[in-house]
Amino acid sequence: MPRTASVGPVPPRPLAGRIPVTRLTPSLPDPRWSPKAFVTEVVPFGATVFREGHDLVGAYVTLTSPGGSSTRHPMSEAGKGLDRWEVSAQLDEPGIWTWTVTGYGDDWATWRHDAGIKIDAGVDVELMYEIGARLLEGAAADTARPAAVRRRLTTAAKTARTPAPTPAIRRKRRGVIDDPHLAAEFRIRPLAHLRTESKPQTLRVEPRIAGVGSWYEFFPRSEGAVQRADGSWQSGTFRTAVDRLDGVAAMGFDVLYLPPIHPIGTAFRKGRNNTLDPGPHDPGSPWAIGSADGGHDTVHPELGTLEDFRAFVEEASGRGIRIALDLALQVSPDHPWVQQHPKWFTHLPDGTIAFAENPPKKYQDIYPINFDHDPNGILREVERIVRHWMAQGVRIFRVDNPHTKPLWFWEALIGRINATDPDVVFLAEAFTRPPMLHALAMVGFQQSYSYFTWRNTKEELEDYLSELSHVSSAFLRPNLFVNTPDILTAYLQYGGPAAFSIRATIAATAAPVWGVYSGFELFESVARPGAEEAIDNEKYEYKPRDFARAEAEGKSLALYLGILNRIRADHPALAQLRNLHVHRSDDDAVLVYSKRLDGAFTASGVDDTVIVVVNTDPHSVRETTVHLDAAALGLEPGARFTVRDLVTDETWQWGGDDFVRLDSFTRPAHILEVVQDD
């Protein structure tokens, strides 16, 4: 009997496609969530596209806006032999965008490559020209192309077929291969076959305030506070705090963050410098929320009324400042929830409720919430509280210690709020391990505190700024706070005024969002012994400051902070996260990086390029040579160009290797714009 071949199971449909399209970016480490961007952000899209054999391929991205309009963006090779294709696009509409990458066999690019080699070598000359002429005729028959383009294609086809008895005709005929007009036309409308489209990808585009902002923090109770002769205090109020708004606006800050403004408990109240024995006039920590006067939906009576708060928000808005309010999901032992919702807390065997701890720190005045026993009830209540403050004009929430709460909770809460109010922003104050920090950003937080505070050396900053701008930029949007009430690093404690200037310079120019806690501009640098926080900490006492006197005596950084924010406003390149490029210097303390925004994405149509050179050693004068990557600056190798210092208005002629001298005691940094030639 004749032998028959066995028939196996039918193989599944291949996933690769005819032209494989792989490794799409932007993407997340976990595909359950979408990458994100913000309105006006320039997003780099990328994919690996290749095929078998030697024929060439091309690729393009198709972007579909939330409104349903689609645009096609031709991609370019990132480097020969890498099969990596990239293009950048600026997104101008909030909502969920979809995008695909299409890979295709590029008939024109393949012909140009083969024809250039063969014709110059005298091999198959007429055959190659005939193939090119037919490609051109096929393109000319495409009625979707403009009439003028179709005529040019027809003329080029005739030229390709023209016999070449003279050198002049041969040159004209050879010119078809390298004609820039044809190359431009086929880049926009390629001669493509074997098109293979990737699966649709999504990208969440959030309002611009989610990605760009200059934050300032102050305690309303300190603004206008007065100490009486008997040692007691008259608290500052929302009405007295209005007087500080002009100073905040003058420095160019557009977000004012307020610590909790709610009633403060008396049980286990902390005294000055976190002591356990408060005096009769100690106001307690604002994070010990809740008393007989109310909880998270109530204003501390000493600050004023809810009407006073709304008036404060309106006053800030009139100065171009948005209010960010602290959302701290914890309570004092006096909070109404303790009696109303006992299941929301952890009860110990001795009958007491567990207070908060972050060893070696103990917070006896705070009860953390236990989300395991009534999760839906807690979610409903917190959503109610958030919407209550939204109704008072708050659209930004700085969330205290979100890493101590379940991840699902934040995903649900932020998802519910943004489903109805996509302009509401949540900032995660999560100084924690990277997996949790990153996960919080992926599930919904629009901004995140970061490890920037503890990255101070040149090497640390090079690595970390590169990570923030490239590795995690598809999901984590860093807010580079230079200090907080809890964080006064050794760098600031011992670096003198230069350290404050250096840190502000880097924070303001390295990321589109940065922040300052009040007192930074006064060079407050004395720490509580044995702690990484300021002595006489404002968390536990009133701390009125004389900003005007400090400025008059030349002991304030306020003017420079205003200059930094003005530079940020004038240079759109600094309002981008993903465009930071680190350059080299010969000195181990001199940090160099640039930010460039192509003229295609600026209002002026001109490239915006800023170079930052910083001496990270606050105790020295450094002289060195910096080595600039011309391509990252949008320049040709070896080009000479003019740079202008945006602080001093000095100009220099620079090239690829340039000398700098940075004196930390007088001028620790250059912030330079590349001057465009007329």
Handedness of CA 328, 329, 331, 337 (dihedral sign): positive
Residue 270 in marked binding region = yes
CB 93 within 8 A of CB 66: yes
CA 156 to chain centre: 48
Q: What is the 3-class SS of 23-87, one letter each residue?
A: EEECCCCCCCCCCEEECCCEEEEEEEECCCCCCCEEEEEEEECCCCCEEEEECEECCCCCCEEEE
Q: What are phi and psi of 470, to 5 degrees?
A: -130, -45
Residues for the chain: how many in total?
678
Give per-residue burial for 52-72: e unless 16+ CB within 10 Å, then b: eeebbbbbbbbbebeeeeeee
What's the half-sphere exposure (Cβ side, CA atoms, 13 Å) at 451? 14
How far is residue 513's CA from residue 262's CA, in Å, rounded to a whole number? 27
* Token pair recorded at residue 84: 């990596």
CB 671 within 8 A of CB 610: yes
How far is residue 219's CA from residue 543's CA, in Å, rounded to a whole number? 9
Q: What is the 3-class SS of 406-428, one letter each residue?
A: CHHHHHHHHHHHHHHCCCCEEEE
Element (H, E) at 614: strand 608-615
* DSSP designation for 298: S
E-strand ranges in 364-419 read: 367-368, 396-400
CB 174 within 8 A of CB 119: yes
CB 661 within 8 A of CB 650: no
* Token pair recorded at residue 174: 């050879």
The 3-state DSSP composition of the chain as helix, strand, coil percent (nearest 5) reads: 35, 25, 40
CB 580 within 8 A of CB 633: no
> Strand pairing partners for 103?
59, 196
Residue 607 in marked binding region = no
* DSSP designation for 120: H
How far is residue 26's CA from residue 30's CA, in Å, rounded to a whole number? 12
CB 273 within 8 A of CB 205: no
Neighbour count for residue 439 (Cβ, 10 Å): 22
3-state SS class at 126: helix
Helix residue ranges per DSSP H, 76-198:
107-121, 125-140, 147-161, 167-178, 180-188
553 catalytic, yes or no? no
Pairing of strands 356-358, 447-448: unpaired
Instruction: Pick the catalytic residue from 114, 334, 411, 429.
Output: 429
DSSP 531-585: SSSBSS-TTSS-----HHHHHHTT---HHHHHHHHHHHHH-GGGG-STTEEEEEE
* Token pair recorded at residue 316: 């800030």
* DSSP designation for 620: -
* Token pair recorded at residue 486: 């809890």
Residue 330 in marked binding region = yes
Residue 540 in marked binding region = yes
* Token pair recorded at residue 149: 């383009």
429 catalytic, yes or no? yes
Q: What are phi and psi of 301, to 5 degrees?
A: -55, -30
* Token pair recorded at residue 312: 């404060």
Residue 365 in marked binding region = yes
Residue 539 in marked binding region = yes
Instruction: Pick the catalytic residue from 223, 381, 400, 538.
Output: 400
How far is residue 590's CA from residue 612's CA, in Å, rounded to a whole number? 10
Active site residue ranges: 400, 429
Binding residue numbers for alpha-maltose 1-phosphate: 270, 330, 365, 401, 539-540
